[in-house]
């Protein structure tokens, strides 16, 4: 069947022909099908049995253009294959935090997967001031499991090289290369500046030291094929409730620097932190508790990730016949390498966190917790604070020793004035 | 036709069926065909017209095993496709220093190319004490042209990613990963130690700081997909005479860190330098002039490469609509990035140079200029000097600012005693 963008009607017909989905959904003639996509790239349907609402799947279909921009920015549907591949890999590596994939159809650029009916997008929950007791524990596990098991530390050299070739994702990488790692650092027509954002704050991003650092992070993004990344691990790609955490939408997945996933997540926790003063004050609440909780998440996500990554590595080497370093097992060499390795991931994570925070302030795609602030001056103040923190992380990425230093800096930036 | 390892007789039959070669060689019934392979992986034939000896080609055919070890180390013939791809790319980027490829046959794992009849292997020439006036100029041009034009600094992001996927070379990379970057840094059964080499010299290679550095270089080799490398750019892969320089045998080609090619070449110039005292003294000559010339080559290869690489980059950016850094053209940002970029290539080059020198002393594959020294003590002395220089380059790779510091150190190591 040639590709066609499905409507609720044509989707119902399609589903009837897929035995896996037939058995999941039961009565195909009594389905509720509703389009809920708020993304830029895809149609997203919730498909639910009318008589048994627990029988439900999500169907995601790639569109041949970038929806936000419309048909003027064509994108091939190849990314759907990349997402199916990533869901399969991540699901095998960390099933408890990845939605189950039931069916993938390359010709239709379509994936049917677990419907997370009792979960909301993390970004939305954080804007509302909700805390999640397992969040850092789960996200650090997710990153450690997926990033370790995609790398040369775990896979054979041959399997890793095949995985790199299988994960080539040219078009979606290009979006990141341009919109995250290039345009925000120059006066590009796609940039969107808040009206009240002082010109001086924008011009700081054009400093040679900042442009150098951004170019180095872009080089790392394009050249360090370390592990299969989610590639877009912000708080809009995480679904949560008080017990569960799921990482969704890995269509940007490709082999890149491990610090990229970690950095994007830290960046979005930090924008959540810096935006809380406005959101809680608006709601007549004290922002301090959620601010403290968010900074705890920053610390626990990083520290948990580093600890679990090392633990997986140590356990794997103990179990396997040999390690990345060879057969000789002197503990000192191995410890030195592991420490230097984590140190390098930390530096990359902070550099990418800086780029992500900057692009979310001045680039095309914003974060709702800040973009939704309706008062220009209030919004610009938070943008300035975010930009200063971002700049310090990007330029100082090799100098930070501990995540506590990042947290101290975030607290300092929260008190900056325009 | 299914693959068969060709003999002179079956090769003659094969050549008759290839029109390109027919027109090059003229009379197919009056050919001299002689097998000259001294490599480990391939059959190599010189095919020459009896009546017109200027009509001549080299035919190289991959064997399905590593010849040095025999059929016990199987290797697929896939590497012949990798070599054909690399010869094509490098030939397009730097035709004056790459043998012309006339014909490639994937089914037979066979390549027919320009016969360099008036050239010898550089390693051989250096052992004999011959100097080559254009050597550094040519090799720095070759590296700048091939490495720049394979990278994200020149290619579109899409073309680069396709090129990376096309250059996957799992088996030959594994040889480097194991024999260059792992086994020499532990007591591995494939290592070969000279009888007179002090155990202490071997044990220095097992220091945690050395093993850490080797693991970091191995990680870079396996994860930094920066440009299409030659992958085995030692002095046995270069053919020279007093006017020309050709780089041959790119069967190890893959996308890796640019510093790898540079480092291997520098390493082999340095082993040539350290071996000259023995070779010239044996020949009743003063070693000082060729030693000075070899150190000049080390300096000129690096300085020439860095200068030409930057010049290609500047010219490309001036010509193209935009640069890797984007559309904004502030000179200071671009200069900072270029300087940091070259600095990073230098560090990688020194790290890989150190690994290459170490593996040539204690690993499976030796360099003839040292391995051929028949007196154990004389050979061990040069090995110890080489190992000390190698260790300093590997551990200090981030601290060297100029190639002159490397040369000072090489001179110092040349006077070490056992």
Q: Is residue B298 pLDDT above 60, yes or no?
A: yes
Residue B389: its H or E element: helix B376-395
Q: Which of B161, B186, B330 sits opposite A328 (nearest CB)?
A: B186
Q: What's the pLDDT at B329?
A: 81
Inter-helix orientation angle A403-413/A288-319, to 10°? 160
Rounded Cα distance between A333 and A331, Å, is 6
Residues A239 and A113: their CA atoms lie apart, in Å, by: 14
CA A150 to chain centre: 17
Distance of alpha carbon B176 from alpha carbon B170, whole angstroms: 10
Indicate the residue of A152, A168, A182 with minimum beta-carbon distance to B223.
Answer: A152
CB contact under 8 A, B209 and A336: yes
Whether residue B157 and residue A164 make contact (CB cut-off 8 A), yes or no, is: no
Contact of B288 with chain A, judged by CB distance below 8 Å, is answered with no
DSSP secondary structure letter of residue A326? B
* Mean pLDDT along residues B247-269: 98
Q: Which among A326, A336, A339, A345 is the top mutation candidate for probing chain B, defined by the most B β-carbons within 10 Å of its own β-carbon?
A: A326
Which value does ipTM take for this structure? 0.96
B189 touches A at CB < 8 Å: no
In whole angstroms, give the CA distance from residue B332 to residue B339.
11
Q: Round to whole Å and give the CA distance between B235 and B264.
A: 9
Provide the β-strand partners of residue B120: B240
Model confidence at B41, in pLDDT bands (50, 70, 90)? confident
The domains found in chain B, sorted by start residue, are 8-114 (3.30.200.20), 120-413 (3.90.1200.10)
- The gap from C-alpha A160 to its chain's centroid, in whole angstroms, comes to 22
The strands making up A120-121's β-sheet, listed across from edge to edge, are A120-121, A238-240, A245-247
How many C-alpha atoms does B331 have within 13 Å on its Cβ side? 1
Distance from the A17 Cα atom to the nearest Cα atom in chain B, whole angstroms: 35
**The tokens of A175 are what?**
């979006």
Instruction: Collect all residues with Cβ–Cβ distance below 8 Å to A40 and sequence separation of at least 6.
Output: A66, A67, A68, A69
User: Is the CB of residue B323 less than 8 Å from the CB of residue B156?
Assistant: no
Q: Express each pLDDT in A203-236 by its tens digit.
A: 999 999 999 999 999 999 999 999 999 999 999 9
8 A C-beta contact, residue A179 and residue A358: no
Chain centre to alpha carbon of residue B341: 22
Strands (E), A211-323: 227-229, 238-240, 245-247, 254-256
Return the residue matching tokens 């930009």. A387
Which pLDDT belongs to residue A75? 77
Tell if the CB–CB gap between A165 and B168 is shorter than 8 Å.
yes
**Does A172 touch chain B if contact means CB atoms closer than 8 Å?**
no
* Facing residue for A187 by CB, picked from B161, B182, B328: B328
Is B212's CB within 8 Å of A152's CB?
no
CA-based nearest distance A308→chain B, Å: 20
Chain B residues with CB inside 8 Å of A158's CB?
170, 174
CA distance A211 to chain B (A): 6
Nearest alpha carbon to residue A163 among A259, A253, A52, A64? A253
8 A C-beta contact, residue A174 and residue A93:
no
Helix (H), strand (E) at residue A392 = helix A376-395
On average, the pLDDT of chain A sits at 95
What pLDDT score was predicted for residue B176? Answer: 98
> CA B112, CA B45: separation in Å to the nearest integer?
9
Quick one: closest CA in B to A228, which residue? B223
The 8-class DSSP code of residue A178 comes to: I
Token pair for A347? 């530096």
Tokens standing for residue B24:
């090059």
Distance of CA A85 to the CA centre of its chain: 16
Contact in structure between A144 and B160 (CB atoms under 8 Å): no
A-facing residues of B in 148-167 (CB < 8 A) are 152, 157-158, 160-162, 164-165
Q: What rounded mean pLDDT belongs to chain B?
A: 95
Report d(CA B161, CA A167) in Å as an integer: 11
pLDDT in tens, B324-379: 999 888 999 999 999 999 999 999 999 999 999 999 999 999 999 999 999 999 99
Q: Is the pLDDT confidence value at B39 over 60?
A: no
């Amino acid at each position: 069947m040639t590709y066609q963008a499905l409507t609720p009607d044509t989707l119902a017909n399609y589903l009837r022909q897929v035995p896996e989905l037939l058995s999941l959904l039961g009565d195909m003639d009594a389905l509720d099908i509703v389009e809920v996509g708020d993304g830029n790239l895809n149609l997203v349907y919730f498909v639910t049995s009318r008589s048994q609402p627990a029988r439900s799947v999500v169907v995601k279909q790639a569109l041949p253009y970038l929806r936000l921009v419309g048909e003027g920015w064509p994108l091939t549907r190849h990314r759907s294959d990349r997402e199916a591949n990533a869901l399969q890999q991540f699901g095998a590596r960390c099933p408890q935090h990845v939605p189950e994939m039931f069916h993938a159809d390359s010709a239709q650029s379509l994936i049917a997967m677990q419907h997370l009916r009792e979960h909301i997008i993390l970004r939305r929950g954080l804007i509302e001031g909700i805390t999640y007791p397992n969040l850092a524990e789960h996200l650090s596990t997710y990153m450690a499991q997926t990033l370790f098991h995609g790398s040369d530390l775990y896979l054979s050299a041959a399997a890793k090289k095949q995985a790199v070739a299988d994960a080539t994702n040219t078009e979606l990488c290009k979006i990141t290369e341009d919109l995250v790692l290039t345009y925000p650092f120059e006066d590009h027509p796609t940039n969107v500046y808040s009206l009240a954002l002082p010109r001086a704050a924008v011009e700081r991003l054009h400093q040679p030291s900042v442009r150098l650092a951004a170019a180095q992070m872009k080089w790392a993004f394009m050249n360090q094929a370390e592990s299969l990344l989610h590639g877009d691990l912000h708080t809009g790609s995480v679904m949560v409730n008080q017990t569960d955490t799921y990482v969704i939408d890995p269509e940007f997945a490709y082999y890149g620097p491990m610090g990229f996933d970690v950095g994007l997540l830290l960046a979005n926790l930090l924008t959540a932190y810096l935006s809380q003063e406005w959101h809680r004050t608006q709601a007549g609440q004290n922002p301090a508790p959620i601010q403290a909780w968010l900074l705890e998440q920053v610390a626990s996500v990083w520290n948990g990730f580093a600890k679990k990554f090392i633990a997986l590595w140590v356990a794997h080497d103990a179990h396997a016949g040999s390690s990345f370093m060879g057969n000789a097992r002197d503990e000192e060499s191995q410890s030195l390498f592991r420490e230097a390795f984590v140190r390098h991931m930390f530096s990359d994570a902070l550099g990418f966190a800086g780029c992500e925070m900057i692009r979310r302030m001045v680039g095309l795609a914003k974060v709702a917790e800040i973009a939704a602030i309706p008062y220009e001056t209030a919004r610009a103040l938070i943008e300035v604070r975010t930009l200063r923190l971002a700049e310090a992380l990007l330029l100082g990425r090799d100098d930070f020793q501990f995540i506590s230093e990042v947290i101290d800096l975030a607290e300092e930036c929260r008190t900056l004035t325009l």
